[in-house]
């Protein structure tokens, strides 16, 4: 995703195995979809790495020095293209878990609502 007009994904690393069965889809993705993906995204550095005996994955390296790794084991080429597009579109920020479901700057003066009624 572009933040102030600048794409945040710097580098996309494609790790695959040349003989493993779980890498069948990523090998087909590299032949069919990867050249067009590189052409549509000239700002993006795409690197392929041969890692034998490991399951395939996509690693996105962002401008804020964060990394996201997505396992693409046994996925068809179309789903791998979808995962690569999702990595490109994300900002690369860490996921922040909220403490409560309701976030407000001014909490209630009466206190939190409970089901216990005292009569």
CA distance linking residue 42 with residue 39, whole number of Å: 6
Ramachandran region of residue 74, left (φ > 0), alpha (ψ -120 to 50) or beta? left
Binned average pLDDT, 10 residues per bin, the chain of 119 residues: 90 96 97 97 97 96 96 97 97 83 75 71
| pLDDT for res 9 | 97
| pLDDT for res 110 | 78
For residues 90 and 117, is the Cβ–Cβ distance under 8 A? no
Q: Which domains does the chain have, with CATH numbers?
A: 1-87 (3.40.30.10)
Say what the pTM is: 0.80
Sign of torsion over alpha carbons 73, 75, 78, 82: negative
| pLDDT for res 75 | 97
| pLDDT for res 118 | 66
| pLDDT for res 119 | 60
């Amino acid at each position: 995703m572009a933040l102030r007009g600048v794409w945040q994904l710097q580098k996309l690393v494609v790790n695959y195995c040349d003989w493993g069965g779980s890498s069948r889809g990523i090998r087909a993705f590299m032949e069919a979809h990867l050249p067009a993906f590189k052409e549509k995204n000239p700002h993006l550095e795409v690197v392929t790495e041969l890692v034998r005996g490991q399951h395939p994955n996509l690693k996105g390296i962002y401008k804020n020095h964060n990394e996201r790794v997505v396992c693409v084991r046994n996925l068809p080429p179309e789903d791998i293209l979808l995962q690569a597009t999702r990595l490109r579109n994300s900002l690369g920020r860490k996921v922040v878990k909220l403490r409560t479901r309701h976030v407000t700057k001014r909490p209630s003066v009466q206190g939190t609502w409970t089901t216990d009624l005292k009569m």
